[in-house]
Amino acid sequence: MNPEKFVLELSKHNFELTDKQKQQFKLYFKMLIEVNEHVNLTRITEEDEVYLKHFYDSITPLFTFGAVFKDGATLCDVGAGAGFPSIPLKILKPGLKVTIVDSLQKRLNFLKDLISELGLTDVELVHGRAEDVGQNKLYRERFDIVTARAVARMSVLSEYCLPLVKKDGYFVALKGPKAEDELDDGKKALEVLGGKLIKDEELTLPESEEERTLVLVQKVKSTPKKYPRQAGTPRRKPIH
């Protein structure tokens, strides 16, 4: 998917990119590739692949759960790595107030430079592990939307993300193909942490065989204080 195709696909979903937005994606690609030479940000480096598997992939929730991403909504992206999905979402929806949580300072340094170069405002970077941030009262149950892409299985991911979602807010997980087993496996965790599965939607990225699953969870009650448990525990002992 070259940049022109990218623009065309977005217009099919009623997103007409401005010249500024096109330029922001172009600059994002350039910086990603440059910094990736000395900081491990991505294995995907071909322009067509980056536009499809990073940029387009990151914004699919806007097509599927668009009503959730209201202007002025607060969004926390857990384990964003090189900024996916939050930075592409922010480029398309500049009114979002974004907080990015990542445990690796090198990635946050890249994001700090990126945010500055792209001229983005209302983006906060938080250095820490999701488990610690979820227990920090500055962030706990503070966000309208929490996103995560390819971070962990649903049973583990729910414990990273749901404690950060405010009541009646949403957790949006961007998963790979055939996430049914994962969703079954993660049912108990969702319930314990105060989440309710609203919808899971399968899709295939344009002009490819790449399958994805988007999961929308609503926070229906507060997360018990003991969650998230201490760093490393959710992965070692998922809630079952």
The 10s digit of each residue's pLDDT in 129-155 is 999 999 999 999 999 999 999 768 889
84 is in an annotated binding site: yes
Domain containing residue 200: 3-236
User: What does the pLDDT read at residue 227?
Assistant: 95
90 DSSP assignment:
H
Quick one: which of 140, 124, 128 has its CA closest to 102? 128
149 is in an annotated binding site: yes
User: What does the pLDDT read at residue 179?
Assistant: 82
Q: Using an 8 Å Cβ cutoff, are 2 and 9 in contact?
A: no
> For 217-235, what is each residue's pLDDT tens digit?
999 999 999 999 999 999 9
Mean pLDDT, residues 111-135 taken together: 97
- Report the CATH number that the domain containing residue 231 is assigned in CATH: 3.40.50.150
130 is in an annotated binding site: yes
209 is in an annotated binding site: no
Tell me the C-alpha distance between 161 and 42, whole Å: 23
Please tell me the total count of domains within the chain: 1
